[in-house]
Amino acid sequence: MSIEELKTHLSFFFTGLRKLDGSQYKTNNIDNCFSPIGRYLRNYYIQEESLNIMSDVRFGKLRKLVDGKMNMLLKEGGQRSNGADALSLERGRRLLSSEGYSLNTAVGLVRRVHYWIGLLGALRGDQHSTMIADMLEKTESRDKEGGIGLPAYKIEKKGENCEARTALIPPDAYSGPNVTAVADSEKYLSMRPNGCSPKLYLQPDRKGRLAFSSQCIGKNSLGKFLQDRCKNIGIDYKRITNHSLSKTDARRLFAAGVEEQLIMGSTEHHSTDAVRKYKLSTTEQRMQTAVLLTGPAEASSSSSTSLIQQTKKVAVRQSAETGRVATGPSININASNASGERVGEVLSGVFSATSKENISSFDINLNI
């Protein structure tokens, strides 16, 4: 079968994909169908080695078709996927500081490892049950001079519905206070008994000792790890699942301004449309947007209090014929240079320069 024939067959397949009773699948079922097909073709398509429909430009329209169908199903009643809530930094800290995540107990230690791997590896719910201990490989970071630095870990992900890839657990010294992902992982791996199950997560000792059984934690118990602890410490748990850690990964990276392509590499999404579903504006960003809509207030006196002071660099293109440049939102703001001199204004979404010099950027100072 040629590439063109393959694209045609896959397009018809995903367009008409339904249950036997004619009803539509949920969006997560569509996504879980696309991934293993891609993996199969990568391993067994004989006419072309390592064919990857998830990144090959020839299958761009197919990926858009799949994303379009998932978006359509989301808009239809009763076809929404089973969503999971992300964890805020505050909730994550509450979990790690709770008694159930104590380093002095076996159950607390394995829960901490589960949390770090789920967050840093962006594991989807069922992928935790496919993890084996050998997928957590100790490595070392490199300093700026290229020498060997602090201990770190690599997470080799090889779940049933994803391509094999590597995620990193950075050295604890690179992270914020009370982040001990590497130390927790080292301690847990050193306590695994000889001859135990190859699965990563082992059952804690039943007598309460800081030790582990040779048997692995069952899939159902593992699936409730995060939800049970949230319930225990008073966090709204109804939409908390192990997949919440993967969503947390994407949300925090978006909030930090990380590029979409890098986030896709972390979360395994096939397209920017898919990963953008995880993007949410922060309270601060929404406040700044609201200020733009209402217009900045002028200070009535030198003692006026500034509630928001935010400077943004906005790239502009100047037209030699008109000296007016489109900037987007319909706002009215004076623009000043670094010396405080007025160089123009934004009026109805168009920047008008007061000087004839070429302008590549300008400052918008919001003093509310």
Instruction: Show Cβ contacts of residue 354 under 8 Å, excluding neighbours closer than 6 positions.
Output: 342, 343, 344, 345
Instruction: Show Cβ contacts of residue 71 under 8 Å, excluding neighbours closer than 6 positions.
Output: 273
Q: Does residue 62 sit within a domain?
A: yes
Full 3-state SS string of 262-298: HHHHHHCCCCHHHHHHHCCCCHHHHHHHHHHHHCCCC
pLDDT at 187: 94
* HSE (side-chain half, CA atoms, 13 Å) at 106: 18
Q: Does residue 97 sit within a domain?
A: yes
Q: Does residue 82 sit within a domain?
A: no
Q: Does residue 80 sit within a domain?
A: no
Same domain, yes or no: 252 and 115: yes
Q: Does residue 84 sit within a domain?
A: no
Nearest in space to 131 (alpha carbons), one of 205, 206, 216, 213 = 216
- Beta-strand ranges (E) seen in 64-164 are 136-142, 148-157
Q: Print the domain residue range for 250.
A: 89-278
pLDDT at 297: 55
Q: Does residue 56 sit within a domain?
A: yes
Last residue of a domain, one of 278, 313, 340: 278
Last residue of a domain, one of 243, 278, 313: 278
The helix (run of H) or strand (run of E) holding residue 344 is: strand 342-347
Last residue of a domain, one of 249, 278, 307: 278
C-alpha 341: how far from its chain's center?
41
267-314 pLDDT per residue, tens: 766 677 766 766 665 555 556 656 666 665 554 444 333 333 333 333
pLDDT at 304: 34
Same domain, yes or no: 194 and 251: yes
Same domain, yes or no: 291 and 274: no
pLDDT at 282: 55
pLDDT at 162: 45
Same domain, yes or no: 17 and 97: no
13-33 pLDDT per residue, tens: 888 888 887 778 877 778 778
Reported pTM: 0.54
Q: Mean pLDDT per 10-residue run, the chain (368 residues)?
A: 88 86 78 81 81 84 84 60 72 89 93 91 81 85 53 64 67 80 92 94 89 93 88 84 82 78 72 68 58 56 37 33 36 45 46 42 36
Q: How far apart are CA 333 and CA 331, in angstroms?
A: 6
CATH of the domain at 105: 1.10.443.10
Q: Are 38 and 52 in contact (CB under 8 A)?
A: yes
Same domain, yes or no: 241 and 138: yes
Q: Does residue 81 sit within a domain?
A: no
pLDDT at 352: 45
Q: How far apart are CA 166 and CA 160, in angstroms?
A: 15
Q: Does residue 310 sit within a domain?
A: yes
Instruction: Show Cβ contacts of residue 112 under 8 Å, excluding neighbours closer than 6 positions.
Output: 96, 101, 103, 180, 184, 188
Same domain, yes or no: 332 and 359: yes
Same domain, yes or no: 45 and 100: no
pLDDT at 41: 87
Same domain, yes or no: 19 and 103: no
Same domain, yes or no: 264 and 308: no
The tally of domains found in the chain comes to 3
Same domain, yes or no: 122 and 210: yes
Same domain, yes or no: 142 and 255: yes
Same domain, yes or no: 161 and 17: no
